[in-house]
Structure 1
């Protein structure tokens, strides 16, 4: 009896690792997608600095002063040391590609296209649970977004924009109870955004990203076909930007992420006639992660040191999306970083080319289950982005 209960607990705990992998900063969401944006701590809704804005607030591409076109290539590297019950993950370095571009059609109309890694990646624990040896679990999850966008500059005060979000999600899971091989699915959503200038020194920004409805992942196994349906949550963001001095920008943003809708619980569909243990597979019907909605506060400061050099500082905070009561169901998620500090730099290389760099550190956070299991998870992060920008 105790052995069966232990196996069931193990299966649930391992499955708790399924959706989230690299746990990229705000829950499983990256702060943003370029070095410039990361340098501001993700506070770029009201005063965007590059074409990466089309992935979060597409109205911003009408605010960049583009003469003909602008291109921003900005790969990132994430180092998120994670532990479950003192055991370290063997996968601790992830590549996060990002590329965006925008084109001026006329004085009012702009078109953009961009793609970036938004969340996911993977964990690889050789042994995770106390008093059980070699209970490995390995996950791989990636979510990439492609966003054709359009923006319209209504007048000198107001810009509006919209994007069609084409999501591409990859998912795989290996546990002692079963293996789901790599599978990919597409999903679709939209983004709407606006920027309004109160005066020459102050402006407001707002954006809404709809839920991305991803098709169900289907996994063929010896016991039949299983399905896992994981969507990406909707978000709503508001920003206020202020220019107190020449060459200085301060922005404060608030963003709401609707995790409770997509990560409160996730259903797994089973093949007809399946019973736990068939072909040695123990697959539950529901994964109760218990994630709550998350409120993210971001503050960014930017200052021109000279005509060629700009420096940035950012701070980003959001309470972990789940608490001590749900640690047991999120042993592989470890999606609990809360406080982030960022530094950034842009240097103009020529009149049309500039290079940027950012470094972000998410301070270590640890949660211990209050259910009596003794399970403890912890994470800290180091994120580096580089960026090459070209305007013509």
Structure 2
């Protein structure tokens, strides 16, 4: 049965790879699955399902509410981003357009099972990163701006956790990512490898603390875009940033849980993102859950991610800037940053619920709203004409999962 579940997970994940996600902490999801996401994306100190554990802190597989049983989770997030751009030339009437984005599904699958009373193994596959706009056939396309982009990353994470003693657990997850980038010249895909370390310490029966470190993961995309305009398609490397996270949770009883996470994402040193002048990002997430009855769980959360995309004033569009060794026109560079990759969401609220259908099957639902955020830069076009670039982004998402203990 376990072999069947693992095989099914990989097959389903492969079929869903073309689905675009739209992420919210930079170009990362705030969390995976409705349980974590409904609690603001928390999970470093007290993840409540197998997917949350492999995403947030691999050490947590030994302390989840499903222990000592095995658990299989299937989850899906449906994103509905609202993105629009505005280009104002020579202080005239702004040219505006809505990105042609619809509703996108982001899959997630996870399994956690014990080897013995101290060791557990797990495996998860989930969409973790997504970003994209489509302004083709709009007024924005007539301004020379980058008008179509798409980035998708799917992660596979085999995980191992070891309980050192009654209070301390450690874990490791190997990360294999499949990354696909399209800058309106066809999709270029590649693979990357990395890992994640985690630890959880139970201070008391009610308090737990957790820490996790995720390594950078680089993916080189070949023949993506003619960056310097010489007629030859250029390569472009994108590197998921190293990430450091800390969490604390308080659960005085099995009816009440509150969790707080803090994360640092090192975008400024990540290949590709440093070229786009992304700053380091600090994320604060808080969430709680309450069980009013034996079968019903209510969840609430908030997530704040400081906007990492720097605004530029008075850029000179008649000059060039260096991107991965290529000389790129400064105006085209700014449109790529501001119009093409507006990963700028900051404030998120989340709600959700869980219900125990049977002794071994649970269903979870969640909802996230990312409030409207904007970013702008000003300077000149290649001919010296004054121009201002602006993007706005808000998001809604609905999450669903089924959890089966066996």
Task: Sort the TM-score into its range (normalised by shorter chain).
Answer: 0.7 to 0.9
- Measured in 2, the distance between the counterparts of 1:27 and 1:290 equals 12
Quote how far apart the aligned CAs of 1:133 are: 5.9
Quote how far apart the aligned CAs of 1:22 are: 5.6
2:41 equivalent in structure 1: 42
- Measured in 2, the distance between the counterparts of 1:51 and 1:195 equals 15
Quote how far apart the aligned CAs of 1:182 are: 1.4
2:203 equivalent in structure 1: 198
- Measured in 2, the distance between the counterparts of 1:252 and 1:245 equals 17
2:282 equivalent in structure 1: 295
Length-normalised TM-score, structure 1: 0.83
Matched-pair contact (CA < 8 Å) for 2:210–2:247: yes
Unaligned runs of 5+ in 1: 1-20, 267-287
Which of 352, 356, 363 is the matching residue for 1:348?
Answer: 356
Question: Superposition pairs for residues 22-37 of structure 1, below 5 Å?
Answer: 23-37=22-36
Question: Superposition pairs for residues 173-322 of structure 1, below 5 Å?
Answer: 173-174=183-184, 179=185, 181-219=186-224, 223-224=231-232, 226-244=234-252, 247-262=255-270, 288-322=275-309
Q: Check 1:138–1:225 CA distance in 2 against 1; reply closer, same or farther (3 A cut).
A: closer
Matched-pair contact (CA < 8 Å) for 1:298–1:316: yes
- Measured in 2, the distance between the counterparts of 1:110 and 1:265 equals 35
- Measured in 1, the distance between the counterparts of 2:187 and 2:27 equals 19
Quote how far apart the aligned CAs of 1:319 are: 1.4
Matched-pair contact (CA < 8 Å) for 2:50–2:110: yes
Quote how far apart the aligned CAs of 1:23 are: 4.7
Q: Show CA shifts across 1:175-204 (max 9, x none).
A: xxxx3x212100000000011001011110
SS in 2 for 1:199: coil
2:54 corresponds to 1:54: yes
Matched-pair contact (CA < 8 Å) for 1:294–1:319: yes
Question: Superposition pairs for residues 135-146 of structure 1, below 5 Å?
Answer: 137-146=147-156
Unaligned runs of 5+ in 2: 1-19, 87-95, 314-333, 380-385
Q: Check 1:263–1:212 CA distance in 2 against 1; reply closer, same or farther (3 A cut).
A: closer
SS in 2 for 1:305: coil
- Measured in 2, the distance between the counterparts of 1:217 and 1:207 equals 32
RMSD value, Cα:
2.3
Quote how far apart the aligned CAs of 1:140 are: 2.3
2:117 equivalent in structure 1: 107
Q: Check 1:264–1:167 CA distance in 2 against 1; reply closer, same or farther (3 A cut).
A: closer
Q: Return the structure number with greater relative CO, CA threshold 8 A, min gap 6.
A: 1
SS in 2 for 1:390: strand
Matched-pair contact (CA < 8 Å) for 1:127–1:136: no
Quote how far apart the aligned CAs of 1:219 are: 4.8
1:13 equivalent in structure 2: none
Quote how far apart the aligned CAs of 1:129 are: 6.6
Quote how far apart the aligned CAs of 1:318 are: 1.3
Quote how far apart the aligned CAs of 1:370 are: 4.5
Matched-pair contact (CA < 8 Å) for 2:220–2:235: no
Quote how far apart the aligned CAs of 1:126 are: 2.4
Question: Superposition pairs for residues 73-152 of structure 1, below 5 Å?
Answer: 73-85=74-86, 86-126=96-136, 132=142, 137-152=147-162
1:167 equivalent in structure 2: 177
Matched-pair contact (CA < 8 Å) for 1:289–1:330: no
- Measured in 1, the distance between the counterparts of 2:141 and 2:233 equals 33
Matched-pair contact (CA < 8 Å) for 1:230–1:262: yes
- Measured in 2, the distance between the counterparts of 1:69 and 1:75 equals 20
SS in 2 for 1:243: strand
Q: Show CA shifts across 1:41-99 (max 9, x none).
A: 11111001000111221111111243341001001111110011131011232110100
2:391 corresponds to 1:383: no
- Measured in 2, the distance between the counterparts of 1:116 and 1:26 equals 16
2:365 equivalent in structure 1: 357
